[in-house]
Amino acid sequence: MEFCLIDMEIISAALLSSGPFSIAVSVLLNILISVIGFIPSVFITAANITVFGFEKGLILSYIGEIAGAVISFWLYRKGLQSFKPKFLKNRSLKQLQNSHGWLAFWMILMLRLLPFIPSGVINLTAAISKTSVIIFFIATAIGKLPALLIEAYSVTQVLQASEDVRNILILLILIIVVLSYFKRGKNKEM
C-alpha cells in the first residue's frame, strides 16, 4: 500500500543526490513523465514539495509540467504526422483536428482546469488539432496553474496525514482504479 510513498521517496532521493543539478533533474523528470503520457505527475510534485518546500516545489513543478506539455505536444504532433494512426479517422476526432485559434485555446484551457483529466490525453488531443504551439502554450500555462495548486495542496495534506489516513487514501484510489478498469471492460463487451 505504500508504493506511492516509496516512489515519491525514490524521486526525492534522486533529487537530493543530484546536488546542484536537482532542479534540472526535476524538470527532466517532469518532461519524461509528460512524454510517456500515462504516469501521474503527482509523484514528482510530491518530491518537489518535499525537497524544495511548498512554494519552490510548486514553481518547479509548474515549470516542469509546462515544459513537458509543450515538448509532448511537439513530439506527439511530429509522431502523428509520421505514422498517421487509424484512430485519427474517427468522426469526433476529425472535428477536433479542425479546431484552431480561440476554439482550441478555450478547449485546452477548460481541459487543463480539470485536475483529474490526464495531461497526456490533453497533450495528444491538442496535438491532433490545428492549434499552434503558442496557443497551446498559453492555454496550458494558464490552465495548469489552478490544477497544480490543487494537486500541490492535496499532496501536502496527504504528506502531513497519519500513515493510516494515507493507507486508506491509497486503498480508495486502488479500488476506484480497479472498478473503472472492470467497468471499461464491460462496456467493451457490449
pTM for the full model? 0.74
User: Can you give the pLDDT at residue 187?
Assistant: 58
User: Can you give the pLDDT at residue 136?
Assistant: 93
Name the amino acid, one letter, at 37.
G
Q: What is the rounded distance in angstroms from the CA atom of residue 162 to the CA atom of residue 92?
A: 45
Query: Of the candidates 119, 187, 97, 108, which has an alpha carbon nearest to the alpha carbon of residue 143?
Result: 108
* pLDDT 10s digits, 109-121: 888 887 667 788 7
User: Can you give the pLDDT at residue 2?
Assistant: 45
Phi, psi angles (nearest 5°) of residue 30: -60, -40
DSSP the chain: --HHHHHHHHHHHHHHHTGGGHHHHHHHHHHHHHHH-SS-THHHHHHHHHHH-HHHHHHHHHHHHHHHHHHHHHHHHHHHHHH--GGGGSHHHHHHHT--HHHHHHHHHHHHH-TTS-HHHHHHHHHTSS--HHHHHHHHHHHHHHHHHHHHHHHHHHHHS-HHHHHHHHHHHHHHHHHHHHHHHHHHH-
Name the amino acid, one letter, at 22.
S
User: Can you give the pLDDT at residue 1?
Assistant: 38
137: alpha, beta or left? (left if phi > 0; alpha if psi -120 to 50): alpha
User: Can you give the pLDDT at residue 185?
Assistant: 64
Name the amino acid, one letter, at 110.
M
User: Can you give the pLDDT at residue 182?
Assistant: 77
Q: Are 22 and 16 in contact (CB under 8 A)?
A: yes
Q: Are 51 and 12 in contact (CB under 8 A)?
A: yes
User: Can you give the pLDDT at residue 27?
Assistant: 92
Low-confidence ranges of the chain (pLDDT < 50): 1-3, 5-6
Q: What is the rounded distance in angstroms from the CA atom of residue 24 to the CA atom of residue 120?
A: 21
Q: Are 5 and 166 in contact (CB under 8 A)?
A: yes
* pLDDT 10s digits, 17-48: 888 898 999 999 889 988 887 777 888 888 89
Give the dihedral of Cα atoms 69, 62, 28, 15; nearest 10 deg. -160
